[in-house]
Amino acid sequence: MGDALNALETTYFTLQTNLNPTLAACPDQDTKDQVMAQYVAARQNYWSCINHAFHDDDPALQALVVQVDAANTSLTTIADHLGDITTVIDDITKVVTIGEQIAAKVISL
Amino acid sequence: MLTWMYVNKRGNQLRLVGLLAISFVIIGCKTQGDAATAANQMAATTKTLSDYYGALDKVLANTQEAYDAQTVINQAPPPDLSDTRQQIQLREKLATEFSTLSATFATITSSTAPTDASTAAGQLNTELVSIKALADNATEQKVLTSAVQLVVSLLQQHDEIKAARQIEPVCNALLKFFNSESQFYDSINKNYLTLASSNAKAMVKGNLVDTSSLFRSSLDPFSLTPSIDSQTIKTGMQGYLDKQIDSTFASKLAAAQNATQALSDSLKEMDARIEVVTKDKVLSIALPPVTLDTVESWVSTITQ
């Protein structure tokens, strides 16, 4: 599978799978809104890449993929760390931000 | 050399239309019978390709509904998948037209009457101009219809081998095109199942599903109907239902991925058969690729 699509898919699918329990762990509406905003952004990144061609040989794109792959590892244990929702949101935000850069790069190619 | 690449939204140069149609017929057959057989096999293969895209469009429609359901569950705003659906529907239409064209070519090769061949050729050109991607490009349309006429002429002269050798690269291009996009097709299927699974588990957790299914096998022999009111039983069923969701997710995902691979294998098989025939050998296989059955089986589970 194309590395870029794979990276964005991993981010989005991980968030999708854990969305409801993560929202349930949020102490207030403001925190829920933060989680939802990141989920929507990750989902948009994914669909942007589905709708556009991937040029995996682009060096800048490859560098971004390496970054998001590293960040995705922090999301794999999301379900185990819902007690520290602030850290969870920070990890999610980092990954989604890189994903937005990938999606923007893909669209520009 | 007849090589066209259809320009899809990604900018890839893949115009397969006329050449693909040509490929079936030509497939290097020595006899009219072989040419018609090869054309019919390609018609069946591209018909299944069209069915596959139709099923993928249905998956996207289901995905849109699942996003709407998710909005009710956790207020996540739904995305708009109309662009994606439009792209898949375009591929479905092209595959349908390829199948129609190849079936018409089969008619030409098996026809001994000059008038039949002319009628079929006219029908071919009608199909070609109806393809929107070509209708928007007058130059390409002219080139393509000229190519079709050339192939028809070769077929009428029963010079199938010469015609076939111009076609094989196109069949190979179709295979490469499908393989270049197969990761997206698989991802679309996985996304739907992931989303549906997330919704389903949320509804199970909220006691919003009928939990009586587990008890039917115990009650059906006695013509009894379950009526589950106990909160204890409903809560106790959640683990069972979550496992059911997980196992069904895995099996349905595997079936979708197997269908994609089977279609790739079918296109590869047709490309190989065409290549054999262009080497002036006899097409000994009378039936379309058997891997098409795997694809149609998956399609039926989606479109039922």
Verify whether the Cβ–Cβ distance B9 to A51 is below 8 Å: yes
Give the residue carrying structure tokens 């991607």: B133
Give the pTM.
0.78
pLDDT value for B263: 96
pLDDT value for A104: 81
Q: Closest Cα of chain A to B202: distance in Å?
A: 7
Q: Would you say residue B3 has pLDDT above 50?
A: no
Nearest by CB to residue B198, choosing from A2, A20, A40, is A20
| String of DSSP letters for A26-64 | -SSHHHHHHHHHHHHHHHHHHHHHHTS---TT-HHHHHH
% of chain B at pLDDT higher than 70? 64
Residue of B nearest to A3 (CA): B183
pLDDT value for B288: 82
Rounded to an integer, the average pLDDT of B113-140 is 55
Q: What is the pLDDT of residues A48-106, one digit of tens each?
A: 888 875 345 556 656 666 776 777 777 778 778 878 888 888 888 888 887 888 788 77
Q: Would you say residue B219 has pLDDT above 50?
A: yes
Residue of B nearest to A48 (CA): B84
pLDDT value for B116: 57
pLDDT mean across residues, chain B: 77
pLDDT value for B132: 47
Verify whether the Cβ–Cβ distance A40 to B77 is below 8 Å: yes
B214/B216 Cα distance (integer angstroms): 6
pLDDT value for A54: 39
Contacts of B194 in chain A (CB under 8 A): 13, 16-17
Q: Which of A1, A5, A19 to mutate to test the interface with B (most CBs of B within 10 A)?
A: A19
Q: What is the pLDDT of residues B27-51, one digit of tens each?
A: 444 556 676 777 788 889 989 999 9
Nearest to B229 by CA among B242, B201, B206, B210: B210
Domain locations along chain A = 3-108
Verify whether the Cβ–Cβ distance B87 to A19 is below 8 Å: no
Verify whether the Cβ–Cβ distance B76 to A39 is below 8 Å: yes
Q: What is the pLDDT of residues B159-217, one digit of tens each?
A: 666 666 656 665 676 787 788 889 999 999 999 999 999 999 999 988 888 878 788 88
pLDDT band of B114, cuts 50, 70, 90 = low
pLDDT value for B141: 54
Residue of B nearest to A24 (CA): B74
Q: Closest Cα of chain B to A5: distance in Å?
A: 8
| String of DSSP letters for chain B | ------B-TT--B---HHHHHHHHHHTT-SSHHHHHHHHHHHHHHHHHHHHHHHHHHHHHHHHHHHHHHHHHHH-PPPP--HHHHHHHHHHHHHHHHHHHHHHHHHHHHH---HHHHHHHHHHHHHHHHH-HHHHT-HHHHHHHHHHHHHHHHHHHTT-HHHHHTTTHHHHHHHHHHHHHHHHHHHHHHHHHHHHHHHHHHHHHHTT-S--THHHHHHHGGGT-------HHHHHHHHHHHHHHHHHHHHHHHHHHHHHHHHHHHHHHHHHHHHHHHHTT------S--TTHHHHHHHHHHHH-
Q: Do the Cβ atoms of A53 and B12 come closer than 8 Å?
A: yes
Q: Would you say residue B137 has pLDDT above 70?
A: no
Residue of A nearest to B197 (CA): A17
Q: Phi/psi at B221 (nearest 5 deg)?
A: -60, -20
pLDDT band of B145, cuts 50, 70, 90 = low
pLDDT band of B65, cuts 50, 70, 90 = very high
pLDDT band of B144, cuts 50, 70, 90 = low
